[in-house]
Amino acid sequence: MKKIVPFYYSSSGNTEEDKIFLKPIEYNLQCNDIHPYRQLSSLFNYWFKVSPDKLQLIDEVMQMVCNASFIFDDIQDEAILRNGFPVTHSVYGLHYSINAANYLQFFLIDDIQDEAILRNGFPVTHSVYGLHYSINAANYLQFIACEKLINLHPMAVKILIEQFIECYKGQGMDLYWKENFICPNEKDYNILTLRKSSWLVIVVIKLMKLFSTYEEDISSLTHTMGLYHQIHDDYCNLRYAESTNENSYCDDLTEGKISFLIIHALKNNPNDKKIINILRQRSKNIEVKRYCVKILESYGSFKYAKDVLDELEKKMRTEVDRLGGNSIFIKLLDEYKNKMLKTRWVKRKWRQLVSLYQLEEDKVKEIKGEDEELRHKIPQM
């Protein structure tokens, strides 16, 4: 019986060695099983009709590229958790993780070419496997991806390298803003988002086009999708209120991230230094972060972000209709919207609970006060 080899192993390597080298990747794939970008290939194949064998290879390569980038992202963001799991480098060590990430990256180039805490509720990979081990695994994985694409199509490697360059430009600018506490304007944020969040969508589209006769231009849809995803992520990160864990609650504030809502608040209230000072602290204190959220609410930043998201959603639905419809894409948009509704429901329920608790507390104080007054009126025996 033929032994089943994981899809992310090198086709030219030693499987026993890969089992050792890519332990952080195996762990990180588990952490990102629920990421919405896992649906990309099937999402757009509604139109492109790529053959199953080619589609499977594209999907596997994109999973490899995506997970390698997550490891680097968690290290740069100084993350602790990813989707509830400790980050890879916290398990495998920084050097092992970096080596694994680079190892994957160079196989990817051969074939194609934040200090966060959580990703999707899991501790980020490098917090589980250690920083160096995780980086090594991520690099290795990227190169393996290239190895797999080298025989797919002569243009496949070029496509991947071009978008990798855009991704690293976006990541570099994001780090530069965050480390220097620079607030960009909304236009610069949109450019960064296209580089940092849309590159993966663009790679999938361009690879699928190599094997499809579909000729409609969907670049506007992909760009809008990338922007929507990033703003949606920024919104939900600061809106969730059901968790009181200091690591997971509003962790964008702990990372010092200049998110879409932060940009709106700072640009419209340039004399208020409270928000930027909170970001400088990289605080894990829940009360400090809740205070920052209240400031954002008072400045209308949540409402503004929601209004922008509503417009982007409307634009995508119109574009999908123009392209002849896509039930899978519409389902994804509905899931995004439901997640936003959930965050608002949770916030509302949290406030109701706090109000009820306050009412009960006031009532107890009132009873205690009456009891104390009555006690003084009773003659002492």
Q: Flag whether pLDDT at 217 surpasses 90.
A: yes
pLDDT for position 2: 60
Is residue 346 one of the residues assigned to a domain? no
Query: Which of the 8 DSSP states describes residue 14?
Result: -
Question: Range with the lowest mean pLDDT among 88-102, 167-181, 283-297, 339-353?
Answer: 339-353
Stretch (H or E) spanning 130: strand 130-130
Q: What is the pLDDT of residue 351?
A: 46
Q: Tell me if 151 is assigned to some domain.
A: yes
Instruction: Give the tens place of pLDDT for each residue, 254-297.
Output: 989 999 999 999 999 999 999 999 999 999 899 999 999 999 99
> What Å distances lie between residue 240 and 236, 289, 370, CA to CA?
6, 12, 40
Q: Is residue 149 part of a domain?
A: yes
Pull the structure tokens for residue 151.
């025989």
Q: Are residues 102 and 148 in the same domain?
A: yes
Question: Which pLDDT score, from 0 to 100, does residue 243 have?
Answer: 53
User: Could you give the CA distance from residue 195 to residue 199 in angstroms, rounded to a whole number?
Assistant: 6
Query: Quick one: 159 and 230 in the same domain?
Result: no
Residue whose structure tokens are 């243009």: 155
CB 111 within 8 A of CB 143: yes
Q: For residue 151, what is the domain's CATH number? A: 1.10.600.10
* pLDDT tens per residue across span 128-155: 766 667 767 777 787 788 888 888 898 9
Q: Are residues 147 and 252 in the same domain?
A: no
pLDDT tens-digit map of 297-325: 999 999 999 999 999 999 999 999 999 99
What's the confidence (pLDDT) of residue 132? 66
What average pLDDT does the segment 147-167 reach?
86
Give 371's pLDDT tier (boundaries 50, 70, 90). very low
Whole-number percent of the chain with pLDDT over 90: 36
Both 178 and 271 in one domain: the answer is: no
Last residue within a domain, chosen from 323, 345, 362: 323
**For residue range 259-269, what is the model confidence (pLDDT) as tens digits?**
999 999 999 99
Domain boundary among 323, 353, 374: 323
The average pLDDT across 341-361 equals 49
Residue 208 lies in a domain: no
Give me the pLDDT at residue 113, please. 29
Instruction: Confirm whether 300 is domain-assigned.
Output: yes
**116 has a pLDDT exceeding 80:** no
Could you report the per-residue pLDDT of 19-45, keeping only the tens digit for each? 887 887 788 777 766 555 667 888 899
Please tell me the predicted confidence (pLDDT) of residue 133: 74
Same domain, 128 and 263: no
pLDDT of residue 377: 43
Tokens of 113: 């070419």
pLDDT at 174: 85
Range of the domain at 303: 216-323
Q: What's the mean pLDDT when you consider all of the chain?
A: 79
Tell me how far apart the alpha carbons of residues 154 and 217 are, in angstroms, rounded to a whole number: 22
**Is 100 a residue whose pLDDT tops 60?**
no
If asked whether residues 63 and 19 sit together in one domain, one would say yes
Contacts of 266 (CB under 8 A, 6+ apart): 183, 272, 275, 276
Instruction: Count structural domains, the chain.
Output: 2
pTM: 0.73
pLDDT of the residue at 27? 80
- 46 inside domain: yes
CA-CA distances (angstroms) from residue 22 to 34, 106, 141, 166? 20, 14, 8, 26
Q: Is the same domain home to 138 and 4?
A: yes
Bridge partners of 82? 85
